[in-house]
Structure 1
């Protein structure tokens, strides 16, 4: 055995051939890159002078916008037209409704007018008949004695058709009562003295004039024209008054059986009523 067999060697181990080759290749590549860069380094790049034209889109866009605007305008016109048509239809409907209502109103008014005209005609015919009857009664009364002194003959001259309520009236009282009752249904007119319209004192004055007695014209004076009598001791022909004696505001003629005849007011005209309807304040006896 050699005496140097166990002495370690101080030399580095050899590198493998593959690693050496790899390193050689990398070094060669780096050197090549440097060489290329050096060769190209001094040269300057030429500026790009070519102009690239972009496609023009303005013309197409304007056409689209114009078409859109036209479409929008048309829609607006259509809406406006529709609104006008709707408004016209609504107005026509309102006018038709109003015309119908007016036609109905006119028809009702004409119907009422016809009914009123018919009622007036009937009332006028009735009034003419009543006036004719009253005229006949007045003609009869005009033949009655003009003085209360001829009481018996006046009683005989009183109309046989006088109401039974005045059957207990005699002489001039019967004539006064008959005249007053003949005016029932006549109109009331302030200041009226007949022959078909009266106020309260005008009727009383006319009734007494048929027997030749001239009374004062107004109710205040008529309420003191005779002897004051109690309302419990009345006789046909007595003058009833409302208010105070000498300041009465209304007068009427007592016709018997608790009834009176008076020209009341414009609503009722001349009527015959019970004393309970409107109790008088007092009475005077002229006959």
Structure 2
């Protein structure tokens, strides 16, 4: 039977260097003692040697505990290093993610600002084009009105009736008595008709087109635009209005709207495309001022 049959593995366990050194020292001491004893017994003249018992020092080394403690410390250091490495990786990932989110938010904000800027530029361009179109249309109408002023006067007919002569632009004289009634009656007769920018009748009007058409019933030719109509006569107080006076909204000379005062605290005007031509109380939309042409 093999001497190692009782050992689970033929491979002997590794011994630590300290244990091997101690055992080597003990073995050396034993061999030295045996050699001395053999020499003494071989010499015939040697005296009998008294039997001596050597007591070997007992080594109380807790090597297992030291190794276990070292392994524990090493494992704890490894664990701490792994934890620190994981935390560092998480922090780096968080910083990277935050930087990416900040970059994306900045890009989104820039795109939104660019879109708003582009939309504003487009709106400004369209508004400028609309203003140019309106200005062109008004200039065309004003030119047409000026060219027609020569034909606005009515000559004496065979019946012997005559009307007031046409007045040049900006020079309006007082008409005959009763002209205010003709202006007011005409304005009220247009209530309910449509508002159309540039309209001068008979089916639709804009604000200055209605005022000009009403005054033509009295033989008076007014400037075409509301700005000039607001300076066509003498300024009067809103507390001393008379039927036929021209009401205006905005500054005199740059008014944006005009209407005809019809008495009783009311006016008739071509307000807008939604309401058309209406009769309203002054409290509905109080005018800025008034001028009297009659």
TM over 0.5: no
TM band (smaller chain): 0.3 to 0.5
The TM-score normalised by the length of structure 2 is 0.42
Q: Which has the larger radius of gyration?
A: 1
TM-score (norm 1): 0.43
